[in-house]
């Protein structure tokens, strides 16, 4: 792990901001910065599992990461914004889960790639995803979840689209660190994405842009 990941793990807020500023000046790609911060967050999670960190430290780590993203976001937002106004992607964190840092990053990357993003926020019940697709006619839906006990809630969203007769009209991507092919199969989603770039590539595929 690099110095930045270590600083996040150790919750050394000022050191983190200083390192991020320096790396931005050195033109380190934003994605590399995010990935290194992510490694630090995984370590924070490990320390929490080992009961060496408590919920307050989880909250603080999220605060630090959100401030880091305020520095990185302007680098991501330029791109080809609004180039594809009709290509909407509905995103949200599923019911029971309030983790939103990764979902927000996925949204920023999608906007940077020119997609219109309808972000429903966190703790989103299945019917809201269905309503949003009804309003926007989006063909791509991205579900975020970081808690393994919310996999059934991802499945409920997929099932809800089927119950409403809309399953064939949308492709559903599940995202978040813990998702994999087995979770995709369990939920009945079309794709899974472990990072924001994979999400963008899948949405391009769904809209047949590449």
Binding site for ligand B12 (CB under 6 A): 38, 41-42, 44-46, 48-49, 55, 58-59, 61-62, 65, 91, 96-103, 105-106, 142, 144, 146-148, 173, 175-177, 193-196, 199
Query: How remote is the C-alpha of 101 from its chain's centroid?
Result: 6
- Encode 110-136: b = buried (16+ Cβ within 10 Å), e = exposed: bbbbbbbbbbbebbbbbebbbebbeeb
CB of 178 to ligand B12, least distance (A): 6
Do 29 and 60 form a contact (C-beta atoms < 8 A)?
no
Could you give the angle at the alpha carbon of 121 between the alpha carbons of 67 and 136, nearest 5°?
Answer: 125
Looking at the Cβ atoms of 30 and 176, the one nearer to ligand B12 is 176
d(Cα 77, Cα 57) in Å, to the nearest integer?
A: 29
Looking at the Cβ atoms of 45 and 81, the one nearer to ligand B12 is 45
CB of 163 to ligand B12, least distance (A): 22
Q: Which residue is nearest to ligand B12 (CB)?
A: 102
Looking at the Cβ atoms of 164 and 190, the one nearer to ligand B12 is 190
Looking at the Cβ atoms of 72 and 165, the one nearer to ligand B12 is 72
């Amino acid at each position: 792990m690099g110095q930045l990941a270590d600083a996040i793990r150790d919750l050394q807020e000022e050191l983190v901001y200083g390192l991020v500023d320096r790396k931005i000046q050195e033109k380190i790609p934003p994605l590399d910065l995010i990935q290194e911060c992510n490694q630090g967050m995984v370590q924070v999670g490990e320390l929490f599992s080992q009961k060496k960190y408590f919920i307050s430290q989880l909250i603080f780590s999220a605060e630090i990461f959100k401030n880091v993203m305020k520095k990185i976001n302007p680098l991501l937002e330029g791109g080809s914004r609004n180039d594809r106004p009709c290509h909407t992607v509905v995103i949200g964190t599923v019911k029971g889960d309030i983790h939103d840092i990764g979902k927000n990053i996925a949204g920023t990357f999608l906007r940077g790639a020119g997609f219109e993003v309808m972000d429903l926020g966190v703790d989103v019940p299945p019917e809201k995803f269905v309503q949003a697709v009804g309003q926007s006619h989006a063909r791509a839906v991205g579900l975020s979840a970081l808690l393994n006990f919310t996999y059934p809630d991802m499945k409920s969203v997929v099932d809800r689209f089927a119950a409403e007769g809309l399953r064939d009209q949308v492709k559903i991507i599940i995202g978040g660190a813990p998702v994999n092919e087995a979770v995709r199969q369990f939920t009945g989603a079309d794709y899974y994405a472990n990072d924001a770039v994979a999400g963008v590539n899948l949405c391009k595929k769904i809209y047949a842009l590449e």
